[in-house]
A and B are shown apart, each in its own frame.
Chain A
Amino acid sequence: MTPIVTEAPTTQAPTLPAPSRTGGTFTVVNRPGEERKALTKKEIAADHPTWCPGCGDFSVLALYFKLIEKRRLFQEQFVSIAGIGCSSRFPYFVQAHGVHYIHGRALPFATGISLTRPDLHVFVFGGDGDAFSIGGNHFTHAARKNVKLTYVVMDNFVYGLTKKQTSPTSPLGFKSKTDMWGAMDQPINPMKQALAAGATFVARTTHSNPNHVLAMMEAAMDHDGFGFIECLSECVEFYEGAFDASNPRKGGQFVEVPKDHNVADEIAAYRLADQPFPGYFGVFYKNGRPTKNANEAKIIADQRAKVGGLKDWEILKKSFDRMK
Chain B
Amino acid sequence: MSEVATTWAKQPDTKPKQPSRLKVSEAVIRFAGNSQDGIQAIGGFLARLAGRSEQEVMTFMTIPATISGGASIFQVRIGSGEVLSAGDECDVLVAFYQHSYESHINSLKKGGIVLYDAEHVDPKPEWQQDYNHVGVPISSLTIEAIGGTAKDKGKNLFALGLVAKMFELNTTKLEKLITERFAGKDTSVVTTALNAFHAGYGYTLGELMETFQFMESHRAAGDQVVMNGNEALAYGLLAAGVRFGAAYPITPWSEVMEILRRELPKYGGTFVQCEDEIAAVSMAMGASYAGRVAVTGSSGPGISLKSESISWGVMAEVPLVIVDVQRGGPSTGLPTSVEQSDLNIACYGGHGDAPRVVVAPANVEDCFYTAIEAVNIARTFSVPVIVLSDQSIATRIEALPEPKIQKICQDLTPNLRPVADHKPYDLSSPDGIPEHHAPGTRILSGKYPILTGLEHDEYGHPTASPKLHAAMTAKRRRKLQELSSSLPTPRVYGPEEGDILLVGWGSTVGPIREAVDRYLAAGDKVSSIHIRHLNPLPPGLDIIFGNFRQVLVIEMNDEGLYGYGQLAALLRARFMDKRLRSITKTDGLTWKVKEIRERVKPFLSDFARRR
Contact surface of A with B, Cβ cutoff 8 Å: 1-7, 9-13, 15-17, 27, 29, 31, 43, 46-47, 74-79, 81, 91-92, 95-102, 105, 108-113, 115-117, 119-120, 137-138, 140-141, 296, 299-300, 302-304, 306-307, 312-313, 315-317, 319-320, 322-324
- The interface stretch among B6-14, B26-34, B260-268, B353-361 is B260-268
Chain B window 244-285, contacts with chain A (Cβ cutoff 8 Å), 1 for yes, 0 for no: 101000000000000000010111111010111011101111
* A30 and B66 alpha carbons, distance in the complex (Å): 59
Instruction: Contact check, A12 vs B409: say whether CB atoms are below 8 A apart.
Output: no
Instruction: Contact check, A4 vs B441: say whether CB atoms are below 8 A apart.
Output: no
Instruction: Contact check, B291 vs A323: say whether CB atoms are below 8 A apart.
Output: no
Most chain B CB atoms below 10 A, which of A15, A78, A101: A101
Q: Return A29 CB to nearest CB of chain B, in Å.
A: 4
Q: Return B369 CB to nearest CB of chain A, in Å.
A: 14
Instruction: Contact check, A116 vs B243: say whether CB atoms are below 8 A apart.
Output: yes
Residues of A within 8 A of B454 (CB): 100
Known: A10-B417, A76-B418. 16 other contacts (CB 8 A): A4-B379, A4-B412, A9-B415, A76-B440, A76-B442, A77-B440, A92-B450, A99-B316, A105-B279, A109-B283, A111-B286, A113-B439, A117-B439, A313-B405, A320-B403, A324-B402
Q: Is B373 an interface residue (CB 8 A)?
A: no
Instruction: Contact check, B416 vs A9: say whether CB atoms are below 8 A apart.
Output: yes
Q: Return A183 CB to nearest CB of chain B, in Å.
A: 26
Instruction: Contact check, A12 vs B443: say whether CB atoms are below 8 A apart.
Output: no
Q: Is B95 an interface residue (CB 8 A)?
A: no
Instruction: Contact check, A116 vs B291: say whether CB atoms are below 8 A apart.
Output: yes
Instruction: Contact check, B291 vs A141: say whether CB atoms are below 8 A apart.
Output: no
- The interface stretch among B151-159, B204-212, B429-437, B512-520 is B429-437
Q: When A76-B441, A98-B448, A99-B289 are in contact, do A141 and B279 touch as well, CB less than 8 Å?
A: yes
Contact surface of B with A, Cβ cutoff 8 Å: 48, 51-52, 180, 223-227, 231, 235, 238-239, 243-244, 246, 263, 265-270, 272, 274-276, 278-280, 282-292, 294, 308-309, 312, 316, 379-381, 402-403, 405-406, 408-409, 411-418, 431, 433, 435-436, 438-443, 446-454, 461-462
Q: When A3-B380, A91-B450, A115-B244 are in contact, do A29 and B442 touch as well, CB less than 8 Å?
A: yes
Instruction: Contact check, B286 vs A110: say whether CB atoms are below 8 A apart.
Output: yes
Instruction: Contact check, A102 vs B309: say whether CB atoms are below 8 A apart.
Output: yes
Residues of B within 8 A of A109 (CB): 282-283, 285-286, 289
> Which of B231, B438, B442, B448 sits near A95, CB closer than 8 Å?
B448
* A324 and B226 alpha carbons, distance in the complex (Å): 6
Residues of A within 8 A of B418 (CB): 10, 29, 31, 76
5 contacts across the A-B interface (CB closer than 8 A): A11-B440, A81-B286, A99-B316, A105-B282, A109-B285
Instruction: Contact check, B439 vs A120: say whether CB atoms are below 8 A apart.
Output: yes
Q: Return B186 CB to nearest CB of chain A, in Å.
A: 20
Instruction: Contact check, A116 vs B270: say whether CB atoms are below 8 A apart.
Output: yes
Q: When A29-B418, A100-B451, A105-B282 are in contact, do A317 and B406 touch as well, CB less than 8 Å?
A: yes
Q: Return B410 CB to nearest CB of chain A, in Å.
A: 9
> Which of A13, A47, A92, A101 sits near B312, CB closer than 8 Å?
A101
* A16 and B327 alpha carbons, distance in the complex (Å): 36
> Which of A95, A99, A111, A319 sits near B447, CB closer than 8 Å?
A95
* A322 and B379 alpha carbons, distance in the complex (Å): 31
Residues of B within 8 A of A113 (CB): 286-287, 289-290, 439
Residues of B within 8 A of A140 (CB): 275
Q: Return B114 CB to nearest CB of chain A, in Å.
A: 32
Instruction: Contact check, B411 vs A312: say whether CB atoms are below 8 A apart.
Output: yes
Q: Return B275 CB to nearest CB of chain A, in Å.
A: 4
Instruction: Contact check, B267 vs A112: say whether CB atoms are below 8 A apart.
Output: no
Instruction: Contact check, B265 vs A2: say whether CB atoms are below 8 A apart.
Output: no
Of all A-B residue pairs in the complex, the 7 with the closest CB atoms, nearest first, are: A112-B286, A112-B287, A97-B439, A303-B265, A109-B286, A108-B282, A313-B409
Most chain B CB atoms below 10 A, which of A74, A105, A120: A105
* A2 and B416 alpha carbons, distance in the complex (Å): 15
Residues of A within 8 A of B409 (CB): 312-313, 316
Q: When A10-B418, A75-B448 are in contact, do A117 and B223 touch as well, CB less than 8 Å?
A: no
* A45 and B270 alpha carbons, distance in the complex (Å): 35
Residues of B within 8 A of A27 (CB): 440
Residues of B within 8 A of A16 (CB): 268
Residues of B within 8 A of A98 (CB): 448-451
Chain B, Cβ-Cβ closest to A323: B225
Q: Return A7 CB to nearest CB of chain B, in Å.
A: 7
Instruction: Contact check, A108 vs B274: say whether CB atoms are below 8 A apart.
Output: yes
Instruction: Contact check, B52 vs A316: say whether CB atoms are below 8 A apart.
Output: no
Instruction: Contact check, A320 vs B402: say whether CB atoms are below 8 A apart.
Output: yes
> Which of B267, B286, B291, B379 sits near A312, CB closer than 8 Å?
B267
* A4 and B309 alpha carbons, distance in the complex (Å): 23
Q: Return A97 CB to nearest CB of chain B, in Å.
A: 4
Q: When A116-B291, A306-B266 are in contact, do A323 and B440 touch as well, CB less than 8 Å?
A: no
Q: Return B156 CB to nearest CB of chain A, in Å.
A: 21
* A15 and B263 alpha carbons, distance in the complex (Å): 15
Q: When A102-B308, A102-B309, A323-B226 are in contact, do A137 and B275 touch as well, CB less than 8 Å?
A: yes
Instruction: Contact check, B450 vs A102: say whether CB atoms are below 8 A apart.
Output: no
Chain B, Cβ-Cβ closest to A2: B435
Q: Return A77 CB to nearest CB of chain B, in Å.
A: 8
Q: Return B260 CB to nearest CB of chain A, in Å.
A: 12
Q: When A16-B268, A316-B235, A317-B405 are in contact, do A119 and B440 touch as well, CB less than 8 Å?
A: yes
Instruction: Contact check, B291 vs A117: say whether CB atoms are below 8 A apart.
Output: yes
Instruction: Contact check, A138 vs B225: say whether CB atoms are below 8 A apart.
Output: no
Q: When A97-B448, A300-B265 are in contact, do A112 and B289 touch as well, CB less than 8 Å?
A: yes
Chain B, Cβ-Cβ closest to A28: B442
Instruction: Contact check, A120 vs B405: say whether CB atoms are below 8 A apart.
Output: no
Q: Return A140 CB to nearest CB of chain B, in Å.
A: 7
Chain B, Cβ-Cβ closest to A3: B380
Instruction: Contact check, A115 vs B270: say whether CB atoms are below 8 A apart.
Output: yes
Instruction: Contact check, A320 vs B225: say whether CB atoms are below 8 A apart.
Output: yes
Q: Return A99 CB to nearest CB of chain B, in Å.
A: 5
* A302 and B266 alpha carbons, distance in the complex (Å): 8
Residues of B within 8 A of A91 (CB): 450, 452
Q: When A101-B312, A137-B276 are in contact, do A117 and B239 touch as well, CB less than 8 Å?
A: no
> Which of B266, B270, B380 sits near A17, CB closer than 8 Å?
B270
> Which of A4, A81, A138, A312 sits near B415, CB closer than 8 Å?
A4
Residues of B within 8 A of A307 (CB): 266
Instruction: Contact check, A316 vs B279: say whether CB atoms are below 8 A apart.
Output: no
Residues of A within 8 A of B223 (CB): 324
> Which of A76, A101, A112 sits near B284, CB closer than 8 Å?
A112
* A101 and B265 alpha carbons, distance in the complex (Å): 28
Instruction: Contact check, A316 vs B282: say whether CB atoms are below 8 A apart.
Output: no
Residues of A within 8 A of B440 (CB): 11, 13, 27, 76-77, 97, 117, 119-120
Q: Return B14 CB to nearest CB of chain A, in Å.
A: 33
Q: Return A105 CB to nearest CB of chain B, in Å.
A: 4
Residues of A within 8 A of B285 (CB): 101, 109, 112
Q: Return B403 CB to nearest CB of chain A, in Å.
A: 8
Q: Return B457 CB to nearest CB of chain A, in Å.
A: 10
Most chain A CB atoms below 10 A, which of B238, B292, B405: B405
Q: Return A177 CB to nearest CB of chain B, in Å.
A: 24
Chain A, Cβ-Cβ closest to B431: A1
Residues of B within 8 A of A313 (CB): 239, 405-406, 408-409
Most chain B CB atoms below 10 A, which of A31, A100, A116, A140: A116
Chain A, Cβ-Cβ closest to B462: A92
* A11 and B275 alpha carbons, distance in the complex (Å): 34
Instruction: Contact check, B416 vs A12: say whether CB atoms are below 8 A apart.
Output: yes
> Which of B246, B413, B439 sits near A79, CB closer than 8 Å?
B439
Residues of A within 8 A of B447 (CB): 95
Residues of B within 8 A of A116 (CB): 243-244, 270, 287, 290-292, 294
Q: When A99-B451, A115-B272, A313-B409 are in contact, do A324 and B224 touch as well, CB less than 8 Å?
A: yes
Q: Return B146 CB to nearest CB of chain A, in Å.
A: 26
Instruction: Contact check, A13 vs B287: say whether CB atoms are below 8 A apart.
Output: no
Q: Return A112 CB to nearest CB of chain B, in Å.
A: 3
